[in-house]
Amino acid sequence: MGGYDMHVLAEGDAGPRPTVVWMPGGHAGGYAMYRLHALAREQMRSVLVDRPGSGWSDSGPFPRTTAVEAVELLTALERAGEKGPYVLVGHSFGGLLMANAARRRPDLVAGLVLLDPTPPDAVAFGPALPAVRRAPRDQTVLALRHLFGLHTLAGKKETHTSDDPAQVLAMIELRTKASCAAASILRELSPDGITRDGWQTAVHDGDLGSLPLLLVAPRDLTGGGAIFDAVDDPEESARVRHFFLTVRERFLAASISGRRVYTPEGTGHDFPDRVPGFVVQVVASLLDQCGPGASKPL
């Protein structure tokens, strides 16, 4: 990638259908979606990509931004020998990345599957969520812990699996760079970050034209009780719940071919881990609609 490497794992036969590329949430490496990949590769061409600073990829240049990583993703696929068009699938913060990539290169994208994606409006206009606001600081603390051995900040002792000093130093460097990369890009998930980077990060109404788009998410706020119960006033709590239920639906307006898919009852934001077979089935249905000779309406 012009001085740094990105790791790509591609398996399975695409046949006449588009290749599927997966992206997890947070700033995790592609391996976080390996369960989905392992199921998908049996019936489609499936690709995992480690963002710079995650998995087996180098950290890449700083600062890290969603816009930069969208370009890097598409470049890495090309240089790895993968051929578009792709169906891009992203969960949470990874969904925002995949939508950004689709906006930038619609010629390389056959479809988009957003798994409860992170809505920029929730960051810019939503109530303060302490866990989200602390994320960059927490990653900075992890970087310091890895680099200087400040184990007490993390509350547990660091362990290494090798007695070779060179391997230990390499692991320290890898973990430090990964935490620095995550701290850098997660700064977008704040009002200041969205103000600074939002124009390049967000995907707005109509930006994706008629690109087939599936918004896959729970119909309720299962698993988010701790966040919403922290609001004492009942009326304000109801408003917060309504906000988070509706704000993600804005992604549907990005394409005139957007469609809503509800996850199985009782699943929360982490449904890709809980019901991977369901997710792969949804993606396969979109592949059937995007492939040659497809006649099913979206």
DSSP letters spanning 161-173: S---HHHHHHHHH
The mean per-residue pLDDT over the stretch 92-104 comes to 97
Strand order in the sheet with 8-11: 8-11, 46-49, 19-23, 86-91, 109-115, 213-217, 258-262
111 vs 238 pLDDT, higher one: 111
More confident residue, 11 or 163: 11
Per-residue pLDDT tens digits for 214-237: 999 999 988 776 666 666 788 888
pLDDT number for residue 160: 53
Whether 191 has a pLDDT exceeding 60, the answer reads yes
Low-confidence winner among 16-25, 91-100, 153-162, 269-278 (lowest mean pLDDT): 153-162
CB atoms within 10 A of CB 289: 20
What pLDDT is stored for residue 153 in this prediction? 45
- Burial grade of 247 (CB within 10 A; 0-12, 13-18, 19 or more): middle
Domains belonging to the chain, first-starting first, are 8-127+190-290 (3.40.50.1820), 130-186 (no CATH)
Greatest mean pLDDT range, 159-163, 177-181, 230-234, 292-296? 177-181
**215-to-27, 28, 90, 177, 181 alpha-carbon distances in Å:** 21, 21, 10, 33, 28
Could you say which DSSP state residue 233 is in? S
Q: What is the mean pLDDT of the chain?
A: 89
* CA 172 to the chain's CA centroid: 25
